[in-house]
Every structure is written in C-alpha cells, then in structure tokens.
Amino acid sequence: MMQRAQEKSPVSFMAHVARLPQKGLPVLIEADETQRQALSEDHGLQWVESFRAELVVAPWKRRGVKVTGRVSADVIQTCVVTLDPVTNHIDEEIEGLFLPRDSRLGREHADLGGEIVLDSEGPDSPDTFEGDTIDVGALAEQFFALAIDPYPRKPGARLEIGDESETSENEFQRQLKSLLRKS
C-alpha cells in the first residue's frame, strides 16, 4: 500500500522530545496540496481533500513519550462495484507510546525468553526511538492509513449478478473445462 516504505512521510513532523512540558506539547498538522497529493498516491486514493492531525506529545514514565490526539481527513476513493468516486470521512483517535531504544522498559519482554502473551484488546507495545526526536506526522499517517476503507462502496451500489437459473458458461469457464479434459 505505502510506496514510501523507507522514505519520510509526506506529513512528517519531527517533535523534539528531550524536554517536553509536563502537560505536553501540542502539535497541529494540516497537509497542503503537495502533501495531500503524495498521500493520495501512497495510499491508492483518487484524492485527499483534507488531512488534519491534532496531537499532544507528552512525557510518559521516566524517559518515554506518549502521543495522543486525532487524525481527520476527507478522501475520495473508487467504488469497488461501480468504479465511481466515493467520498469518505476519516476521524480516528491516535495513541502511541515510545521508549528510547536503550530503555530497560522496552527490553523487559525481550529478556523473558520463550512465549510472549499478547492481548488483542490491550494497548500496543511501545515503539522505540533514537536521539531526541519522534516523527509524529508519520504516526498520524499510520492511523490515517488504517482508517481507510479497503472496499469503499457508493451508497446503494449493488453488484448485479445474472439470473441464477442461467446455465450459460462464460469464456473463462469454457477454457477451464477444456484444459481439465486434456489433463
């Protein structure tokens, strides 16, 4: 889905986390036309009409960082039935935890050996970071990507299926039967 696997996010915003205020650092990201074009291309959308992320980057535990907020967007996708444009609204809550790569908290599970028990309904494990910056724009893009409808449908769109009593074969079925007879 994302073509920029190793590249910087089109809505990249590097938050300096070395000295965060206790109440957190507010971050607002509103994508311009160039960024929205890149998001459209990266996520297979016809167009991204708007993209806005309102985040708070706050200290968590001793050296960790917690990012919370919302990402909202209006996107135009292709209907999987009619191939007509479909406008969808995205409004997704964001929550991410980050620990420095050398943090002991992040290594607790790695040192256990054996199995790791994961709770699918529980919080995600913290991500790690190096240095004193975190790309909170890339985090917002991840939540945006997860909220995109993978099978958008125009309201009322239905796939017309031929009469079930019809027994006519299409070209593919005829070729398949002829191949099966030969084997």
Question: What pLDDT band is residue 23 in, cutting at 50, 70 and 90?
Answer: very high
Question: What pLDDT band is residue 116 in, cutting at 50, 70 and 90?
Answer: low
Task: Please state, rounded to an integer, the average pLDDT across all residues of the chain.
Answer: 85
The pLDDT, as a whole number, for residue 128 is: 87
Cα distance between residue 105 and residue 120, in whole Å: 20
More confident of the two residues 170 and 130: 130
Cα distance between residue 43 and residue 144, in whole Å: 10
Question: What pLDDT band is residue 5 in, cutting at 50, 70 and 90?
Answer: very low
The pLDDT, as a whole number, for residue 167 is: 58
Cα distance between residue 76 and residue 63, in whole Å: 40
The pLDDT, as a whole number, for residue 175 is: 79
Regarding beta strands 127-129 and 85-100, do their DSSP bridges make them parallel or antiparallel, or are they unpaired?
parallel
Question: Per mean pLDDT, which range of 5-14, 31-40, 174-183 is the poorest?
Answer: 174-183
Q: Sheet of 25-30: strands edge to edge?
A: 25-30, 47-60, 64-78, 85-100, 127-129
Question: What pLDDT band is residue 2 in, cutting at 50, 70 and 90?
Answer: very low
